[in-house]
Amino acid sequence: QVHLQESGPGLLKPSATLSLTCVVSGYSINSGYNWGWIRQPPGKGLEWIGSLHHSGNTYFNPSLKSRVTMSMDTSKNQFSLRLTSVTAADTAIYYCARRPGIYVGGLDPWGPGTLVIVSS
Amino acid sequence: QSVLTQPPSVSAAPGQRVTISCSGSSSNIGNNYVSWYQQLPGTAPKVFIYDNNQRPSGIPDRFSGSKSGTSATLGITGLQTGDEADYYCGTWDTSLNTFVFGTGTKVTVL
């Protein structure tokens, strides 16, 4: 069974860079699939951040593209998200998830999520 | 602001049927597969329908998905108290070149 687990700083100050990691167990991320990040501000809906494939293909939400970087560490079977110049608007639960392809399949499974609060 | 529109809430009595609509455009629903997610309070979303009408293993057949043109629909029959949750549709948007979610619908069992 495939499991995803996010980890992150919890709390960071405005203008800082957010770094999150998603550790994958039960499946080698080098074997395929697209690996993505989604966030959800408290009490609000879901927002797609972006995804990457081991081939190097990446897709980012246009509204975040200028601040987002994603990378993959196949030796640790994990992938990461970096979001620069954070503000209070970036406060959210951040989830990682897997999807078979860009156009097909559902996001499955999801990690439990990690809450990130941006506050001075 | 989401490009996929859902009703904020739907409700029905136990045992009844509800449907949740997801309205988009030709750049998203009209030409791409739709998936649906259930999010119970305080938990991560879980896929209930993928590729318009496919149910993952373990999802009861009370849940069904369909698509017509630029709209998709999630149906839940035999409504149970455990179905109370937020439901989101999602699909790829070819114009934005990104995945997009619907605005979300809260299902309440009366």
- Segment B61-106, tens digit of pLDDT: 999 999 999 999 999 999 999 999 999 999 999 999 999 999 999 9
How many whole angstroms separate alpha carbon A83 and alpha carbon A69?
Answer: 7
In the prediction, which pLDDT does A54 show?
Answer: 81
Q: Tell me, what's the pLDDT at A25?
A: 97
pLDDT at A100: 87
Cβ of residue B110 closer than 8 Å to a chain A Cβ: no
The pLDDT of residue A101 is 85
Please report the pLDDT score of residue B104 as a whole number. Answer: 98
Mutation pick from B98, B101, B106 vs chain A, by most beta carbons of A within 10 Å, is B98
Are B50 and A45 in contact (CB < 8 Å)?
Answer: no
Q: Which of residues 44-103 of B touch A (CB under 8 A)?
A: 44-47, 49-51, 56, 88, 90, 92, 96-103
The pLDDT of residue B2: 80
Phi, psi of B30 (to 5 degrees): -60, -25
pLDDT of A104 reads 87
- Residues β-bridged to residue B98: B93
In this complex, the residue of B32, B33, B98 whose CB is nearest that of residue A48 is: B98
User: Which pLDDT score is estimated for B1?
Assistant: 65
- Do residues A38 and A48 touch, judged by C-beta distance below 8 A? yes
Q: What angle do CA B69, B73, B79 make, to 5 degrees?
A: 165
Q: What is the per-residue pLDDT for B4?
A: 97
The reported pLDDT for the residue numbered A38 is 98
Q: Could you give the dihedral angle defined by the CA atoms of residues B101, A29, B53 and B12, in that order, rounded to the nearest 10 degrees?
A: -50
Residue of A nearest to B92 (CA): A103
Mean pLDDT of successive 10-residue stretches along chain A, which has 120 residues? 95 97 96 95 97 90 96 96 98 96 91 97
Name every chain A residue with its beta carbon within 8 A of the beta carbon of B47. Answer: 106-108
- Within a 13 Å sphere around the CA of A84, how many CA atoms are in the beta-carbon half? 6
- Per-residue pLDDT tens for B12-55? 999 999 999 999 999 999 999 999 999 999 999 999 999 999 99
- Cβ count within 10 A of residue B16: 13
